[in-house]
Amino acid sequence: MQLKQTATAISASVFLLLGCGKGDSGGGGTTPTPLPPTPIALSVAKIDNTTALTGFTNYNIKLSPVIRLSFNNAVDRATVSSIAVKENGSTAVGAGYAYENGDSTVVINPSAALKALTRYTVDGATTLKSIKGGALTSAFSINIVTQIDSTDKFPVISDNALLDLIQQQTFKYFWDYGHPVSGLARERSNATPETVTSGGSGFGIMAIPIGINRNFITRAQGLARMQTIVSFLKNTAQKFHGAFPHWMNGTTGAVIPFSTKDDGADLVETSYLMAGLLTARQYFNGADATETNLRSDINTLWNAVEWNWFRQGGQNVLYWHWSPAYAWQMNVKISGWNECLITYILAASSTTFGIPQVVYKEGYARLGAMQNGNTYYGYQLPLGAANGGPLFFAHYSFLGINPTGLSDMYANYQTQTTNHTKINYEYCKANPKVFFGYSNLCWGLTASDVQGGYNSNEPGNDIGTISPTAAISSFPYTPTESMNALKFFYYKLGDKVWKQYGFVDAFSLKDLWYADSFLAIDQGPEIIMIENYRSGLIWNLLTSCPEVKNGMKNVLGFTAPYL
């Protein structure tokens, strides 16, 4: 009896179970909750099999790249247009799409070659979905910069023809763009055209004999320009104890303040100007009345500079500035090692207001404290800061003073200028900050315009900006490395950096920035130092001055084959 009752209970349970199932299929029960859509996220991005990073710029990308974007789930092909390649983050670039790894990897091939040295982004929007309906968890943007176009932008010419071209085109800055009233050099191409610069004008004056010897202009033209310049300096320009301001108005000769308290004499700028004038005096050596009078007027200007007055009361140092309104308040001592050796050489060379050797020893050399002696990148540096500082230190004083075989108690200046340049070259070649574009062909750090301002570029203050004047003005020291750089700037980057007055002031391939400016103090050394490398012309002219020979040899104690 008990067995029968148990069997009946089991039968009833089965009936109930079957009934429940039958009732569900008939619509009498609840529907299961569907699974949520599976979201999608970018796992790995690769460009030409190299991992690409978001949040950083990926440099040196080929012009026909293969872009692989791998996700954590298969993508819905219908939404893949949510991934786009854009030029400069805005203009969409046509592209083809392919799929790998079960549609979890999207392969993008731009339909046409990308532009060289151009910024692109690979953008993914949240409208991208997985095959299971989930949206991209967060939008992404991959920044890329394409590689340099290695094709030549201009026909290849001989090295000599190229040097001629560089000098002639750069000379136009001083000749064509020189101030129409004073004949002096304008400070820069992208500022008020009334502002002329004393130091840059000295460099421009040095360029005139080069222009004549290279047949860019005639001797008569060069002489006429020099008459205009010297007449303006003698009769119109403001002077303070014989010294000139940093900036002047090219029409009126009035001071244009360089800064609030820098509204009077600038002795360093004056020394660059005087070096140019003495160079011209030695070049225009004709016996006729015109050239004789020019030399006489230059001597009047030269002999009027009261170098020793800038000792500020007889101290054993020269001071950089004096203002009629602020007197010595700037109080900047001219101390080395820097670009101011020429200031002390000319001060010692003056026959009217000269300085004794002790002012050089204590003021500029700081009793030897300007010496260095350490080795950088395999080159010992006799003077100055670590790695040498900006390269204009090796240029400005040596536009007219030949460092070859030049020594004093502190340094061999041929070693100083050569090793400073080689350290700068090796630093750029090593590229410790991994700046895009730096190489053995693209090098040279010195003070110049930079994106958004001006910077004294050097290994200790490197922001990724190359200044063409740095390598080009170093031709006498590193002829092979400088020629390689010159060819790279002209042939490979010429469509971006070669303009109406030669090479623009600076550029940054890292930032895809190219200056639209030319500066007198950067253009001038290019012409002059190329010429010193080729013929020694400006070196021979300035060091032929009897006053300069005496100042260097007998006052300061320098030795050199030409002294």
Domain extents for the chain? Answer: 38-146, 159-555
Prediction pTM value: 0.92
C-alpha pair distances (Å), 119 with each of 81, 222, 288, 435 = 21, 46, 61, 15
**b/e 216-248 (16+ beta carbons within 10 angstroms → b):** bbebeebbebbbbbbebbeebbbbbbbbbbbbb
Whole-angstrom Cα distance, residue 488 to residue 499? 15
Write down the pLDDT at residue 54.
Answer: 87
C-alpha pair distances (Å), 453 with each of 197, 248, 448, 514, 518 = 19, 22, 9, 13, 14
Write down the pLDDT at residue 38.
Answer: 86
CATH number for the domain running over 38-146: 2.60.40.3710
Q: Which token pair is 504?
A: 């623009």
Which residues, listed in sequence order, are joined to residue 40 by a DSSP beta bridge?
A: 136
**For domain 159-555, which architecture applies?**
Alpha/alpha barrel (1.50)
C-alpha pair distances (Å), 54 with each of 42, 51, 58 = 10, 10, 9
Alpha helix (H) residue ranges in 176-264: 198-213, 219-235
For residue 443, give the 3-state DSSP assignment: coil
Question: Taking the CA of residue 486 as centre, how many other CA atoms within 13 Å lie in the half-sphere pointing to its CB?
Answer: 28
List per-residue pLDDT tens for the chain, 563 residues long.
343 343 333 333 333 333 344 344 444 456 666 668 889 999 999 999 999 988 899 999 999 999 999 999 999 999 999 999 999 989 999 999 999 999 999 999 999 999 999 999 999 999 999 999 999 999 999 999 999 999 999 999 999 999 999 999 999 999 999 999 999 999 999 999 999 999 999 999 999 999 999 999 999 999 999 999 999 999 999 999 999 999 999 999 999 999 999 999 999 999 999 999 999 999 999 999 999 999 999 999 999 999 999 999 999 999 999 999 999 999 999 999 999 999 999 999 999 999 999 999 999 999 999 999 999 999 999 999 999 999 999 999 999 999 999 999 999 999 999 999 999 999 999 999 999 999 999 999 999 999 999 999 999 999 999 999 999 999 999 999 999 999 999 999 999 999 999 999 999 999 999 999 999 999 999 999 999 999 999 999 999 999 999 999 999 999 999 99
Whole-angstrom Cα distance, residue 498 to residue 492? 10
How far is C-alpha 454 from the chain's CA centre? Answer: 9
